[in-house]
A = this chain, B = another copy of it.
Amino acid sequence: MPYHSGMTTSAAERDLRGAAVRVTKQRVAVLDAVRRHPHADADTIIADVRGELGRVSTQAVYDVLHALDEMGLVRRVAPAGSPARYDPRVGDNHHHLVCRRCGRMVDVDCATGAAPCLEPVAAQGFSVTEAEVIFWGYCPDCQSKGPAPAG
């Protein structure tokens, strides 16, 4: 029996059908979770999905996150030294601001326009397909608290 969420077709469900892939309860739940928690890491998503569905394998969540990333419904962001985060905002060219102390991540639109920095002066023969920009700093809450995460 094809999966259907219940009363009404959810946005997540429609987006998955639009991508022409199998619509499973795990996929719907993961996509919903990413949208509920923008920039969450895999652990948070796994916990949220388990809260919704009960037992779900870790592997399934990772598989779905990869699949969603590949089909362009979420964007995987991996700041240096921290686990990957998943961003539901896709299709535009925005970047991220990450707090060095607490890891909080927020979106920023690019200063330079729609396709910022996408043209390095000398590409040295590389064909460039994407520019990834991460701004590092301290969030408002952490500016007063000093640099150490366990301080």
A binding-site residues for B, Cβ under 8 Å: 76-78, 80-81, 84, 95, 97, 99-100, 106, 108-112, 116-140, 143
Contacts and interface: CB of A to CB of B under 8 A. Distances in A.
A126 B122 contact: no
Given A131-B133, A131-B134, 19 more contacts: A76-B80, A77-B80, A80-B132, A95-B117, A97-B120, A100-B129, A106-B124, A108-B120, A110-B120, A110-B121, A117-B133, A117-B135, A126-B135, A126-B138, A126-B140, A128-B137, A130-B137, A131-B135, A132-B133
A111 B106 contact: no
Nearest to A80: B78
A97 B143 contact: no
B122 A109 contact: yes
Contact of A126 (B80, B106, B130): B106
B133 A133 contact: yes
A136 to B, nearest CB: 4
A73 B68 CA distance: 39
B120 A139 contact: no
A126 B100 CA distance: 10
Contacts of A129: 100, 136-138
